[in-house]
Amino acid sequence: MSDKAKPVRIYVPIDAAALSVGAEAVATAIRRAVEQRGRPVEIIRNGSRGMLWLEPLVEVETSAGRVAYGPVSPADVAGLFEAGFLEGGAHPLGHGPTEELDWLKRQQRLTFARVGLTDPLSVADYRAHGGFKGLEQALAMAPADVVERVRASGLRGRGGAGFPTGIKWKTVLDAVAEQKYIVCNADEGDSGTFADRMLMEGDPFTLIEGMVIAGIAVGATKGFIYLRSEYPHAHRALNRAIARAEHAGLLGASVLGSGRAFQLEVRLGAGAYICGEETSLLESLEGKRAIVRAKPPLPALQGLFGKPTVVNNVLSLASVPWIMVHGAKAYADCGMGRSRGTMPVQLGGNIRRGGLVELAFGISLRTLIEDFGGGTRSGRPLKAVQIGGPLGAYLPDSLLDTPMDYEALAGVQSMLGHAGMVVFDDTADMARQAKFAFAFCAKESCGKCTPCRIGAVRGVETVDRIIAGVERDKNLAVLADLNRLMTDASLCAMGGLTPMPVMSAIRHFPEDFHRPAMAVAAE
Amino acid sequence: MGHYAAWDIEVARALITRLSSLDGAVMPILHALQDEFGYVDRAAVPLIADALNLSRAEVQGTISFYHDFRDEPAGRRVIKLCRAEACQAVGCENLVDHLRTRHGLAVDATTADGDLTIETVYCLGNCALGPAALVDGELVGRLDAQRLSALCEGRAVETAQIIERVPA
Ligand SMILES: Cc1cc2nc3c(=O)[nH]c(=O)nc-3n(C[C@H](O)[C@H](O)[C@H](O)COP(=O)(O)O)c2cc1C
Ligand code: SF4
Ligand code: FES
């Protein structure tokens, strides 16, 4: 076959973020253009490489590797063909070989190794890129050794709390019960986070494989992915991937012919932030109001339907296949202190180059936000970065040299959470952000305990008075008192951490709480 | 989306029967009803309670806990506008103002003619390309006032417009 007859592979992402800026129309335009030209072409809908500011990012496979063009609009397609983009020709939207892009080259992609590279729903592609190897490895080991490998890797829960995954699994392994469950927390409710979504859309088999390994390791035969309803694209991707995984023997009555069973189902949430909290999530899966449960008992011992249950975040589970293949040490060798391995960081908000960066722990926030992110999108000075979702602190520029590390961030009265970093420029009003933190808590509180349910409402009122200039010093004292109460007396981190964004705003941006009085907003 | 069947108790009963053997069947049933009819009719509560051997209060309690479940039909088109922090950082509240001043539209309300519902959501996972909205189930990024107006008026938003060049 001559080279001309071989179909050229063109990659156009099907990730929801890429679609949100027109990837579907671009794929259609390319399809039309190739029909006219009669050149055999194969269009593959891949995940996103994570350079979201370049989406839709179209890649063409050439003899010199994949070549990137972006952001491509349908109107650019004719010009791209004229410039010979099927051979990687030069064009103003061209960026050269994708793998050579500084932004990608500087990352350490372990969990996201395949995202953007493969066709997310192709089992063959998954296998060709190392898929199934982790599970094969796990099936050849004793369950306790699998658990030990995860423990030794130093993997900590990526959903926010940072609890060691291996220790959680050991608790479930040691529990005696006729039924155990693996529950994947795919609620990803934090503003500024989208790594779970990108992984579920871009490489769902990795999550499925991680869940099967977890099941084999602790003796669970049934898994649920609890997915937030705000992610319809991920929902479609997961359901298709599960059907194909069943077909390929990755799921079912005998996983890869091992005689071990593992079934998997996706369940949708219904727009409640608190369902990200693991016990609330379990209540929801059981069909109830998602009121937080008191711990103990731990879900590891009495979880879903009262049975021993592993509840892990998407990224925690999706990191496991890599650890199985490459060993605990290779994973633990990345990172600093007690933060081992890599973290997929999400850069969002008012940022020039937003997207996903996976790197070993220890890198500075400044490198992430300035080098990778390119500073603010508006071009105005950066004012604050909120890290760790709506319960995370607002940090000023002067703290950006802090390394990304669970303990180092705690040291500056902040937290890593799910590693969403949201940038604000100097037009942000931190008193208003503090008020929002309370309003969000008031709206999303499960209502079980008074400090959170009532405290958040009082918080909104108090910040309103401060903004209006009513007895400022007294009201700031009331606020400090309220925050102490919520921190100390809330049952879960919703009420317990809402003071974090509030106090950080007051601590680092006091001037915003002492502006000339304005009328209280009539909201 | 947008084309819902009128409430029909027999259809509802069949949906409930089909799903009631699932572990934790309540949420899947509520979603199935809302997907079919666009809301969860009050008349479904006793049906679910009977099928799953729950009290009506338990079922009603679950429905009322979650923001998604409606007890009356939504507009023919639904725009879910993100108002969480990352979208705040790129001006989503200006879009809320724009809806009010330019179109007389309130967020978390349905227009009187039943054409359009605009709802608040907190994060759609598109925080690098905000402001974001989910328009009849499709994600839209880098929303601005013009494009939001087009969406409200039911005009197609050209994807060419959606793309803004950000220098690398
Ligand atoms: C209010 C609240 C919201 C949470 N939201 C999420 C979430 O969206 N996703 C998640 O994985 N964990 C979330 N968590 C943390 C979970 O409770 C739990 O720690 C986690 O799912 C355990 O998995 P991991 O150890 O793999 O991180 C939340 C916790 C709280 C208190
Ligand atoms: S702190 Fe708030 S969300 Fe958490 S259990 Fe108490 S009331 Fe519920
Ligand atoms: S904050 Fe709006 S999409 Fe995430």
DSSP string, A252-316: BSSGGGSS--BEEEEEE--S-GGGGSHHHHHHHHTTS--PPPPSSSPTTTS-GGGS-EEEEEHHH
Q: Is residue B163 part of a domain?
A: no
Query: What 3-state DSSP class applies to A157?
Result: coil
Q: Is residue B144 part of a domain?
A: yes
Q: Is residue B20 part of a domain?
A: yes
Residues with Cβ within 8 Å of A110's Cβ and at least 6 positions away in sequence, in order, are A319, A322, A326, A331, A334, A341, A342, A358
Looking at residue A368, what DSSP letter applies? I
The chain-wide mean pLDDT, for chain B, equals 92
Whether residue B157 is predicted with pLDDT greater than 80 in this model: the reply is no
Residues B86 and B144 in one domain: yes
Q: Is residue B168 part of a domain?
A: no
Query: Is the CB of B84 inside a 6 Å radius of any atom of ligand 3?
Result: yes
3-state SS track over chain B: CCCCCCCCHHHHHHHHHHHCCCCCCHHHHHHHHHHHHCCCCCCHHHHHHHHHCCCHHHHHHHHHHCCCCCCCCCCCEEEEEECCHHHHCCCHHHHHHHHHHHHCCCCCEECCCCCEEEEEECCCCCCCCCCCEEECCEEECCCCHHHHHHHHCCCCCCHHHHCCCCCC
| Cα of A25 vs its chain's centroid, Å | 26
Residue nearest to atom 1 of ligand 2 (CA): A495
Read off the pLDDT of each residue in A120-140 and give the average, rounded to a whole number: 98
Residue B118 Cα distances to A89, A278, B39, B56, B83, angstroms: 45, 30, 15, 30, 12
Query: Which residue among B89, B139, B167 places its CB closest to the CB of A350?
Result: B89
Question: Please, are residues A407 and A364 in contact by the beta-carbon 8 Å criterion?
Answer: no
* Strand residues in A308-436 grouped as ranges (E): 309-313, 335-336, 339-340, 342-349, 355-360, 382-387, 394-396, 420-425
Ligand 3 center from residue B83 Cα (angstroms): 7
Q: Are A22 and B159 a contacting pair at CB < 8 A?
A: yes
Query: Is the CB of B130 inside a 6 Å radius of any atom of ligand 3?
Result: yes
| pTM for the full predicted model | 0.97
- Supply the ipTM of this predicted assembly: 0.96
Residues with Cβ within 8 Å of A325's Cβ and at least 6 positions away in sequence, in order, are A130, A133, A134, A137
Q: Give the ligand whose atoms come closest to the C-alpha of residue A273.
A: 1
Q: Which of B92, B89, B114, B116 is nearest to B105 (CA)?
A: B116
Residues B84 and B39 in one domain: no
Query: H/E element holding A246?
Result: helix A232-247
Residues B99 and B150 in one domain: yes
Question: pLDDT value at position B50?
Answer: 98
How many pairs of residues across A and B have Cβ atoms under 8 Å apart?
183
Minimal C-alpha gap between A406 and chain B (Å): 22
User: B52 contacts in A (CB within 8 Å)?
Assistant: 287
Domain that holds residue B16: 9-65
Q: How many CB atoms lie within 10 A of CB A291?
A: 17
Minimal C-alpha gap between B138 and chain A (Å): 8
| Cα of A14 vs its chain's centroid, Å | 17
| Cα of B136 vs its chain's centroid, Å | 8
Residues B40 and B90 in one domain: no
Question: pLDDT value at position B158?
Answer: 60
Looking at residue A341, what DSSP letter applies? S
Question: Please, are residues A166 and A150 in contact by the beta-carbon 8 Å criterion?
Answer: yes
Strand partners, A310: A182
Q: Binding residue per annotation — B123?
A: yes
Residues B84 and B148 in one domain: yes
Question: pLDDT value at position A517?
Answer: 79
For tokens 């199985």, name the residue.
Answer: A324
Which of B39, B65, B91 represents a domain boundary (last residue)? B65
Question: pLDDT value at position B160?
Answer: 47
* Strand residues in A49-133 grouped as ranges (E): 58-62, 65-69, 94-97
Whether residue B145 is predicted with pLDDT greater than 60 in this model: the reply is yes
Question: Please, are residues A448 and A292 in contact by the beta-carbon 8 Å criterion?
Answer: yes
User: A438 contacts in B (CB within 8 Å)?
Assistant: none
Minimal C-alpha gap between A86 and chain B (Å): 22
- The residue in chain A having the minimum alpha-carbon distance to the alpha carbon of residue B59 is A288
Q: How many CB atoms lie within 10 A of CB A262?
A: 25
Q: Does a cis peptide bond (omega within 30 degrees of 0) precede residue A296?
A: yes
Residues B86 and B151 in one domain: yes
Q: Binding residue per annotation — B92?
A: no
Question: Please, are residues A376 and B89 in contact by the beta-carbon 8 Å criterion?
Answer: no
Residues B35 and B92 in one domain: no
Ligand 2 center from residue A440 Cα (angstroms): 13
Question: pLDDT value at position A1?
Answer: 46
Q: Is residue B167 part of a domain?
A: no
CATH code at position B137: 3.40.30.10
Residue nearest to atom 8 of ligand 2 (CA): A446
Query: Which residue among A230, A377, A420 places its CB closest to the CB of B134?
Result: A230
Q: Binding residue per annotation — B127?
A: yes
The chain-wide mean pLDDT, for chain A, equals 96
Q: Is residue B71 part of a domain?
A: no
Residues B56 and B121 in one domain: no
User: B165 contacts in A (CB within 8 Å)?
Assistant: 71
Looking at residue A42, what DSSP letter applies? E
Residues B149 and B99 in one domain: yes
Residues B82 and B134 in one domain: yes
Task: Please report, as a single letter, which amino acid is at residue B32.
Answer: A
Ligand 3 center from residue A205 Cα (angstroms): 26
Looking only at the bridges linking them, the beta strands covering A420-425 and B109-110 are unpaired
Question: Please, are residues A350 and A395 in contact by the beta-carbon 8 Å criterion?
Answer: no
Q: Is residue B72 part of a domain?
A: no
Q: Is A296 exposed, middle or buried (0-12, 13-18, 19+ CB in 10 A)?
A: exposed
Question: For the segment A282-301, what is each residue's pLDDT rounded down to a tens digit?
Answer: 999 999 999 999 999 999 99
Q: How many CB atoms lie within 10 A of CB A43?
A: 16
Query: Which residue among B52, B62, B88 places its CB closest to the CB of A289?
Result: B62
Looking at residue A347, what DSSP letter applies? E
Q: How many CA atoms lie within 13 A of A10 on its CB side?
A: 29
Q: Give the ligand whose atoms come closest to the C-alpha of residue A489.
A: 2
Question: For the segment A400-437, what is each residue's pLDDT rounded down to a tens digit?
Answer: 999 999 999 999 999 999 999 999 999 999 999 999 99
> What's the start-to-end Cα distance of chain B, in Å?
37
Q: Is residue B107 part of a domain?
A: yes
Residues B89 and B138 in one domain: yes
pLDDT interval class at B168 (50, 70, 90): very low
Question: Please, are residues B137 and A231 in contact by the beta-carbon 8 Å criterion?
Answer: no
d(CA A171, CA A31): 52
Q: How many domains does one find in chain B?
A: 2
pLDDT interval class at A38 (50, 70, 90): confident
Question: pLDDT value at position A4?
Answer: 58
pLDDT-above-70 percentage for chain A: 98
Residues B14 and B46 in one domain: yes
Question: For the segment A183-230, what is each residue's pLDDT rounded down to a tens digit?
Answer: 999 999 999 999 999 999 999 999 999 999 999 999 999 999 999 999
Which of B65, B90, B110 represents a domain boundary (last residue)? B65
d(CA B35, CA B30): 9
Question: For the segment A432-469, what is each residue's pLDDT rounded down to a tens digit?
Answer: 999 999 999 999 999 999 999 999 999 999 999 999 99
Read off the pLDDT of each residue in B36-42 and give the average, rounded to a whole number: 96
